[in-house]
């Protein structure tokens, strides 16, 4: 029987019978930072649950990334889950931001559990609420905020994900994730540095401690 605090916190409310089924079907794996977990067009064989680490979920358009959300410890990928009701084909890319530990449940098993243990839907409703909020925040940021605000929000978001300040981010990486060019990001960062919003050192980009870091 699984005796893992993550499992008990996430699924304990479903009872011992479910935990026994989970023990029989769950696969656990470690994923190194920067490893691709799934890509657009690939068949989804598992529904992932993140035990520790972080995963970036995004789409690509002409080589530029559009980030939908980040999966953090105790979360699952809603878009992976939603695909099991259609053609099982992923519509997103997912890459580990840092060394991560993941629990994988075969999609066929999840299908069975939705019938046998209908209360498990509470887990996915909760994930839907969080992911919907993430996507709405991303849309609002892209539509209503100037680029300098978006860059600062992105930096703070990465600090929240990793817990690092300063954080190592290249200008090209920021540009790719925000759908702009490296040159533009470099100018924006220089302007922000001159205005005291950030500092750039060999250790990375640092935000002054009195700045609020976005919480995911």
- For range 68-89, the mean pLDDT: 82
Rounded-to-integer distance, Cα 32 and Cα 53, Å: 10
pTM equals 0.67
Rounded-to-integer distance, Cα 138 and Cα 109, Å: 32
- Given a cut of 60, is residue 111 above it in pLDDT? yes
What's the pLDDT at 105? Answer: 92
Residue 165 pLDDT grade (very low, low, confident, very high; cuts 50, 70, 90): confident
What's the pLDDT at 2? Answer: 52
- Given a cut of 70, is residue 44 above it in pLDDT? yes
What's the pLDDT at 86? Answer: 77
- Given a cut of 90, is residue 21 above it in pLDDT? yes
Rounded-to-integer distance, Cα 186 and Cα 87, Å: 41
């Amino acid at each position: 029987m699984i005796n893992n605090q993550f499992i008990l916190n996430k699924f304990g409310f479903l009872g011992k019978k479910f935990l026994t089924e989970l023990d029989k079907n769950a696969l656990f794996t470690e994923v190194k930072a920067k490893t691709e977990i799934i890509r657009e067009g690939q068949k989804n064989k598992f529904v992932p649950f993140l035990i520790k680490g972080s995963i970036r979920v995004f789409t690509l358009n002409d080589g530029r990334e559009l980030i939908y959300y980040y999966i953090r410890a105790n979360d699952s990928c809603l878009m992976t889950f939603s695909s099991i009701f259609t053609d099982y084909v992923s519509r997103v890319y997912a890459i580990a931001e840092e060394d991560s530990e993941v629990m994988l449940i075969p999609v066929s098993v999840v299908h069975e559990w939705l019938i046998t243990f209908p209360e498990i839907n509470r887990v996915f409703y909760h994930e839907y609420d969080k992911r919907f909020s993430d996507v709405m925040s991303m849309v609002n940021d892209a539509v209503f905020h100037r680029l300098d605000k978006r860059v600062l929000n992105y930096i703070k978001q990465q600090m929240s994900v990793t817990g690092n300040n300063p954080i190592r981010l290249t200008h090209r990486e920021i540009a790719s994730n925000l759908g702009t060019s490296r040159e533009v990001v470099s100018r924006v960062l220089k302007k922000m540095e001159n205005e005291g919003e950030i500092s750039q050192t060999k250790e990375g980009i640092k935000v002054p401690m009195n700045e609020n870091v976005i919480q995911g």
